[in-house]
Amino acid sequence: MQQIRRLIANFEVVWATAETCNQALEVFAEYNLSHGLGLIDALIDQTSISLGVPLHTFNVKHYAVIPMLTTVQPYERR
């Protein structure tokens, strides 16, 4: 736990706003049945969009359906 706390101490914690949560709910309702998008995934992508930052993920294909979301694969897996 101490190692984890030291590691995350270098990161800024960002909380989703009510507007971002509402947008995530709309995206979830739109893409859950057709693409299997989960509610937490919708919250993550909408937070990324609201901050204007790309989402770094290995699951680039999963998020491809989200409009206005830029995804980046952190590195090539071997």
Terminus-to-terminus CA distance in the chain, angstroms? 28
Run of H or E residues at 27: helix 18-35
Task: Determine the Cα–Cα distance for residues 44 and 24; give it in Å rounded to an integer.
Answer: 8
Q: Which two tokens stand for residue 71?
A: 């995804």
State the pTM of this model. 0.83
Average confidence (pLDDT) over 5-19: 92
Run of H or E residues at 39: helix 39-51
Say which residues have a Cβ less than 8 Å from residue 8's Cβ, sequence separation at least 6. Answer: none
Q: Give the tens place of pLDDT for each residue, 21-78.
A: 999 999 999 999 999 999 999 999 999 999 999 999 998 888 999 999 999 998 888 8
